[in-house]
A and B are shown apart, each in its own frame.
Chain A
Amino acid sequence: MHEWALAESVIKTAVEHAGAEKFKKLKETGVVFGELQAIDKDIFVFALEELRAQYPVAQKCRFKIIPEPAAFLCKACAHKFSLKVLKKTNDEAEFIHFVPEMAHTFLKCPKCKSPDFEIAAGRGVHITYIKGDR
């Protein structure tokens, strides 16, 4: 249920944005789920439903979940790779789920074995757009 904490950050950010943009109500928020963090969508959506009661401006807001594949770029050899080619244990996947940067501890570039790679896409949760009515 650590998804709850991230869901709270999403709804709070959307509500703050509504305040800054003088929206009377939020219509839709695009929430990107990076493949690396492997957030549980059902738990996240459940948390959003629980939380929205606290924020009148977000009562009718649709939260559109947009999956984003993880993409990595090795800084040592410039090799580009995806999450699918990387092996990890269930425990390692769980640690990466909590803190995606743990990828650098448990994963390596499949070509040169370096842990010095960039998570170019699909790290974790972020917001890509917020729409509302003034």
Chain B
Amino acid sequence: MTHIDPRPSVIEERLKGVKRIIAVTGWKGGIGKSVTASALALLLAQKGYKTGLFDLDFAGASDHLILGAKGLFPKEEKGLEPPFLRGVKFMSVVFFSENKAVPLRGANVSDAIIELLAITQWGELDFLVLDMPPGINDAALDVIRFMRKTEVLAVTTPSMIARDVLERSLALYRKLQVPVLGVLENMSAARRPAAGKLRLDPGLEKALGRPAALLKTAFAADLALSARRLKLG
């Protein structure tokens, strides 16, 4: 018996109103992808851009914690319309998991991503920021497959381990012809503000969960500088 998955046919339609898709990636865990993606979405929305944020890290979803999202749920309207959080349209698997563990194998992750891409009505957006899980896995491959206009914004740290993994990821993106917008070095030891450097900010932890406070951190200021240089807004 034939098994045709109809969902991919509408993904392009769901994203047709999205001008740019920025995938915040980094193949190591714990290097600050989620904070970078969340803060970038907040910064773009603050500048007046129509912005979306999609947390694709199902196992380690954390954007809702960084943004202090509570009591939100998508609205059912010919699909699901993501709720607004400080001007950002926000979608995450936590809306459906009650913040419990989501123990999915690779094929299940792919199925869940396709489902959410098929039913989420993003509408008109200047930027859709994707918070990617670590590594090159089902989520990353599905983004490359279904979200053809994706540009990669890679996050790394000063560690030689993170840099080495970064080089491998950049080589693969080149091979797959996925445009790389730039590289951000998080936890940087740079003494002065510089494009591409996100300096270690001791005040960042206390601002997590409070978007207004997060936007006032030194981390956000460094990210805003890098975003300007990368012509993101």
Contact = CB atoms under 8 A, between A and B. Distances in A.
Given A99-B112, A101-B112, A102-B96, A5 B9 contact: no
Interface stretch (B113-121, B149-157, B171-179): B113-121
A72 B8 CA distance: 25
A95 B3 contact: no
Interface of A: 1-2, 4-6, 8-10, 12-14, 16-17, 91, 95, 98-102, 104-106, 115-116, 119, 123-130
Contacts of B200: none
Interface string B92-114: 01001110111111001101100
B81 to A, nearest CB: 10
Contacts of A129: 1-2
B48 interface: no
A13 B8 CA distance: 9
Contacts of B105: 116
B3 A128 contact: yes
Contacts of A10: 6
Interface of B: 1-10, 13-14, 76-80, 93, 96-98, 100-105, 108-109, 111-112, 115-116, 118-119, 121
5 contacts: A1-B76, A17-B4, A104-B103, A106-B100, A124-B115
Given A95-B96, A127-B2, A5 B102 contact: no
B101 to A, nearest CB: 7
A6 B103 contact: no
Nearest to A10: B6
Contacts of A95: 96-98
Contact of A9 (B6, B76, B108, B112): B6
Chain A CB count within 10 A is highest, among B100, B105, B119, for B119
A5 B6 contact: no
Given A99-B116, A128-B3, 15 more contacts: A1-B77, A1-B78, A1-B79, A6-B118, A8-B78, A10-B6, A12-B9, A13-B6, A102-B97, A104-B103, A104-B104, A115-B103, A116-B105, A127-B3, A127-B5
